[in-house]
Structure 1
Amino acid sequence: MDANLLHDIIFYVMYASLAIALVIMTERALYFAYTQRQARKLERALTPQVRHAADLPHSLTQRNSLPLAVILPVLEQKRYAGDREALGDTIDAQYLLSKPMMGRGLWLLETIVTAAPLLGLLGTVMGIIETFKALAASGVSEPSLVSAGMGTALYATGLGIAIALLCLVGNNYLQSCMERINELLKVLLIRAGTPGSRPDSEADGQWLENGAQRYA
């Protein structure tokens, strides 16, 4: 296969990877910002007296959000069933179901972080091969021609490292945002599963303690 063609293909792949990474980072950053804002609003509105969605402010229920979708089944379970074990299973299930929505696309970002330097190195190798092949075919031994060819080849390595660094910073930032949102979802699920005001306050306290230990 033509080394020069492969070198060009590698450049196109790296540029496409950069574009994909920028789209993922922008989309996830906006999604996490909106989700975190909605979660904080629900955290303030979700009191022990809230037993179903109608008790929540209309401004929080009129727009779909991940925190709202997570707590609604828990509120329904608390409203129609008194089984604490079943309620705990619902809380666990909702927390696990929220993870794929949170991590959507991040695996691709992590792949680009790993693959970009390797693609850059491969592009450099192909560029060096093509440079020496051209010099051998023409019989030219001018040092400036060798330097120009090597500079173009090494550009691939620099581009790959730059893409990896950019994606690494973006991925770490998104992982930090996702961790904060996960903590907020844990709080929302525990509050959604907390029984309303009842005389047996000691039992309610035990339920809160068990809920906190569940996600410790």
Structure 2
Amino acid sequence: MNANDLHDIIFYAMYASLVAALIIIIERGLFFAYTRRQTMRLLRTLTADIRHLHELPAEFSQRNSLPATLIAPLLPQAANRSRDEINDVIDTQYLQSKPHMMRGLWLLETIVTAAPLLGLLGTIMGIIETFKALSAAGISDPSQVSAGMGTALYATGLGIAIALVCLLGNNFLQSRMEHINEALKVLLLRAGMPHTRQPIKPAAVQENGEKRYA
């Protein structure tokens, strides 16, 4: 395998990593939006008289609802176990949510680091191929040398661009995940302590025909 073939393989690898990164960003963004919406709805719906998951509205009984899955073991046990036992279950359920939330993010972080290195390697392979062409034919046509160097440097630029896209996407997803983790923790605490389950009122409520803010 010569340097030119390796240079092409590096380009294919960078394009593939860009596609994979965009898929992860879109999929995680949709998953986080859905999970946050389900969590906030559960916080508004969960009351002290709910003891089982099937007592919740049908939309929360779906298998793909992570918040409902997390609180399912807590609902029937909250009134019968000690505070320490409930706290252990809360911690366990919270830790079990981590793999679901972080799925695919490790690949995004890897691409952030690997893309500039792949671009640099592609540039090196392109320069090597250009020097080989020079040693074989001499500098009879300077435009060919310029074209070869331009293609080589394009690899570095592409790698940096991919890394920037992935970095922005990763930072956005990390920020969203942090907010959702906090909401999930609050939800687990409410599920484990029935006496704290009071319906959360919306920010603005109507009372006697006038708008009040809770």
TM-score range, shorter chain: 0.7 to 0.9
> Tell me, which stretches of 5 or more residues in structure 1 are unaligned?
198-216
What's the CA shift for 1:141?
4.1
Say whether 1:131 aligns with 2:130: yes
Matches within 5 A, 1:5-84: 5-62=5-62, 64-79=64-79, 81-84=80-83
Matches within 5 A, 1:105-124: 105-124=104-123
Equivalent residue for 1:184? 183
* Between structures 1 and 2, the one with greater helix share: 1
Tell me the alpha carbon deviations over residues 23-77 of structure 1, each in whole angstroms, 9 at most, x when there is no partner. 1111111111111110110010112332322432233224630100011111122
- Return closer, same or farther for 1:51/1:196 CA change in 2, 3 Å cut-off: farther
> Which amino acid letter does the alignment assign opposite residue 84 of structure 2?
E
Is the 8 Å Cα contact of residues 67 and 185 (structure 1) preserved in structure 2? yes
TM-score by length of 2: 0.87
What's the CA shift for 1:6?
0.7
* Alignment root-mean-square deviation, CA: 1.5
TM-score by length of 1: 0.86
Of stretches 133-142 and 47-56 in structure 1, the one that deviates more from structure 2 is 47-56
Is the 8 Å Cα contact of residues 63 and 69 (structure 2) preserved in structure 1? no
Task: Name the SS of the counterpart of 1:73 in structure 2.
Answer: coil
Tell me the alpha carbon deviations over residues 83-114 of structure 1, each in whole angstroms, 9 at most, x when there is no partner. 22211111000000000000000000000000
Identity of aligned residues (%): 68
Task: Name the SS of the counterpart of 1:74 in structure 2.
Answer: coil
> Tell me, which stretches of 5 or more residues in structure 2 are unaligned?
197-214
Give the number of aligned pairs. 196
Runs of 4+ in 1 over 4 A off after TM superposition: none
